[in-house]
Chains A and B, each alone.
Chain A
């Protein structure tokens, strides 16, 4: 029963969504719109699940004394933002907006910017011409980097054209092959899930 009901629900919704795509009948439109509404409602519930999981995980780690200070900061941030949003609103000049612009956004940007330092270090250590494919990759990367860094036009005008060629032919053909593979893979997996051949999403029991 635990497996049959979800499989039946999945099959019915899969077939209904497939059929409605080809129909303009008012009933089909109504079903489609209702499913779109419920889809968003279900997703909103997953956000609640994420919140509960975040709080539970941090509280249990605090009890164990694992990174207590950082976890208190995380929970404080989690509590403060909704409180100030509910208390003073989210308009310009509100404490919520101030905290978002002066605390959250700069912190996230700073963490993201650290990537540049790691890329610089990795380029020195890892980007080596050890084989012919590695050398081709290295040369392509150098051309792309140079074409994107044309300070004062110090490099040749041909450089952006070569970089565009790399982007439009070798890079795009590889990307297209990947996209077609993903598309075919998604299609077959969806069909297997709808028909009930693929059951791993149900869990073990």
Chain B
């Protein structure tokens, strides 16, 4: 025990705070923000059969935060009988996106090729976004599973962004910016974002200017979305861990500042 330094106690404290809160399973009071509400309302307003392009622009490292958010959005889309086209602009997001779409499609008894397709990864995100604006078929002659583009019923009526209602970029970095700059800027396609909490402020200016139509962010966004869908999911659970960690950090900041001022006062004396 005597070998433990102050940072080790801080680490132990964080572990205990999160662990105890998760065991106690405290009920969260989720207040739905206008940002998430706008995203939900848009997807909710689309008529059945509308086509959304879901872009999985994230890596495996952010999966605990991205997964609840992606699942909530996908569940909403399938629940509303929307048709989904999945793509990925990061190689790691490819497998994750495929699994998430497959999982949610199964829950809502959706058929591959008719209700959803997964096209997979294309290198160089800017070129891929621009290329899809010209021709989705030329960008993806085959889907992720090797089926030819023309063999998939859903894609028969899809030439480019003109045949897609909106793009939802599920991202942990700045890739949504490229969707806004090139997808919306050049081709005018509507962009929605489901991003990590750390990236929310990055997209605020685009949201305010209308270049990005709607956005929901982080575990809080996922929890809010689950609240709107009236389902329980990883968002609320994750939010519990995150909130308790936040409170612990606030406690540490206060203790750190108190000790700073006490030491300073003693130094003056």
Residues of chain A whose beta carbon lies under 8 Å from any beta carbon of chain B: 29, 32-33, 36-37, 39-40, 42-44, 47, 90-92, 97, 100-101, 104-105, 108-109, 111-113, 116-117, 119-121, 123-125, 127-130, 138, 141-142, 145-146, 148-153, 157, 160, 164, 167-168, 171-172, 175-176, 179
Contact = CB atoms under 8 A, between A and B. Distances in A.
Contact of A148 (B61, B246, B256): B246
Q: Which 8 A-B pairs have the closest CB atoms?
A: A153-B29, A43-B124, A149-B246, A149-B243, A39-B127, A112-B61, A108-B61, A105-B60
Given A104-B60, A142-B253, A175-B205, 14 more contacts: A37-B131, A39-B127, A40-B123, A40-B124, A42-B124, A43-B123, A90-B95, A100-B95, A108-B63, A112-B61, A117-B10, A146-B246, A160-B33, A176-B205
Contacts of B197: 148
Contact of B63 (A105, A145, A146, A151): A105
Contacts of B62: 109, 112
A39 B96 CA distance: 25
A111 B62 CA distance: 10
12 contacts: A32-B134, A40-B122, A104-B60, A112-B62, A120-B13, A121-B11, A124-B253, A125-B256, A130-B260, A149-B243, A151-B240, A151-B243
Contacts of B204: 167-168, 171-172, 175
Interface in B130-171: 130-131, 134-135, 138, 145
Residue picked from A109, A129, A138, A172, most chain B C-beta under 10 Å: A109
Interface string B241-269: 01111111110110111001000000000
Contacts of A101: 95, 99
Contacts of A39: 124, 126-127
A33 B134 CA distance: 8
Contacts of B240: 151
B23 interface: no
A116 B245 contact: yes
Given A119-B249, A124-B253, A152-B26, A33 B138 contact: yes
B265 to A, nearest CB: 14
Given A123-B249, A127-B256, A36 B134 contact: yes
Contact of B257 (A109, A128, A148, A176): A128
Given A44-B123, A109-B63, A171-B201, A127 B208 contact: no
B59 interface: yes
A90 B135 CA distance: 26
Nearest to A130: B260
B250 A146 contact: yes
Nearest to B256: A124
Contacts of A150: 28-29, 31, 243
Q: How large is the interface on B (under 10, 10 to 19, 20 to 34, 35 or more residues)?
A: 35 or more
A149 B240 CA distance: 8
Nearest to A111: B61
B215 to A, nearest CB: 12
Contacts of A44: 123
B66 to A, nearest CB: 10
B131 A120 contact: no
A100 B220 CA distance: 27
B182 to A, nearest CB: 11
B172 to A, nearest CB: 9
B7 interface: yes
A151 B256 contact: no
B71 to A, nearest CB: 15
A152 B29 contact: yes
B253 A138 contact: yes
Contacts of A167: 200-201, 204
Given A120-B249, A150-B29, A105 B10 contact: no
A128 B260 contact: yes
Contacts of A168: 204, 208
Given A112-B62, A151-B240, A123 B205 contact: no
Given A90-B95, A112-B61, A124 B14 contact: no
B19 interface: no
B210 interface: no
B64 interface: yes
